[in-house]
Amino acid sequence: MILGVGTGSTVNCLIELLPTVKLAGAVASSQVTEDKLRALGIEIVDLNFAGTLDIYIDGADEVNEHLQLIKGGGGALTREKIVAAASNKFICMVDESKSVEVLGREFPVPIEVLPQARSYVARQLAVMGGEPVYREDFVTDYGNVILDTYDLDVSNPIALEKELNNIVGVVCNGIFAANQADVLLKAGSNGVTTLIR
């Protein structure tokens, strides 16, 4: 099996266990993850040659009861969204602190933007009621910048995800609603709860 592997602190715990699992290889959702997998001797497979993946495992910054997510705190949102879309099953692992009623109230929506369009996109986000904050000293794997956007109305995540993607200059945004998680593993004081969409 070729496994899709996400990015972030939660997934880092999983990565350490992967050498004990029989894998044909892994598709990484970021350069950081790719480097960690290589260091453990796990073969990296280019998604263009992997076909459809059986499973993609990743974490999230926020998750609601519909298994819709905000991701991108680590800046890998575009690659994460691509690998998730190319997988039959998206398993999301979080601790209970990431569970929210409404997305975006505590954690900003990360938006990957072409560098030339940063100011324009920021103005459009402000018109939508958002407060974009440029993530300084950070460049994505694709050479783009991130606007962490607070105060957006995420009460309809699917509609907002689409609306944000329609802004010229936006590469991708961190709302995973149209293609949300299939399985949520939520760790809490009473153990791990499994939710299935």
pLDDT score recorded for residue 118: 99
Split at pLDDT 50, 70, 90, the class of 10 is: confident
Cα separation, 113 vs 171, in Å, equals 5
For position 197, what pLDDT does the model report? 81
Q: Choose the weakest-confidence range: 12-16, 57-61, 178-182.
A: 12-16
pLDDT tens profile 76-119? 999 999 999 999 999 999 999 999 999 999 999 999 999 999 99
- Read off the DSSP letter of residue 150: E
Task: Residue 82: count other Cβ atoms within 10 Å of its Cβ.
Answer: 16
Could you give the C-alpha distances from 36 to 28, 89, 92, 161, 165, in angstroms and in order?
A: 10, 23, 19, 30, 30
- pTM higher than 0.85 for the full model? yes
Domain boundaries, the chain: 2-100+178-196, 109-174
Task: List residues with catalytic annotation.
Answer: 80
CA 184, CA 196: separation in Å to the nearest integer? 6
In this structure, of 20-29, 63-72, 118-127, 131-140, the range with the lowest mean pLDDT score is 20-29
Q: Which residue spans within 18-108 are E strands per DSSP? A: 25-28, 53-58, 62-63, 69-70, 87-95
Rounded to the nearest angstrom, the gap between the alpha carbon of residue 154 and the centroid of all alpha carbons in its chain is: 16
Name the fold adopted by 2-100+178-196: Rossmann fold (3.40.50)
Is residue 48 over pLDDT 90?
A: yes
Q: How confident is the model at residue 37 (pLDDT cuts 50, 70, 90)?
A: very high
Which residues, listed in sequence order, are joined to residue 113 by a DSSP beta bridge? 145, 170
Q: Distance (Å, rounded) from C-alpha 91 to C-alpha 93? A: 7
Residue 44: which of 88, 79, 81, 8 has the closest Cα?
79
The CATH number given to 109-174 is 3.30.70.260
> What is the model's pLDDT at position 79?
97
The overall average pLDDT reported for the chain is: 96
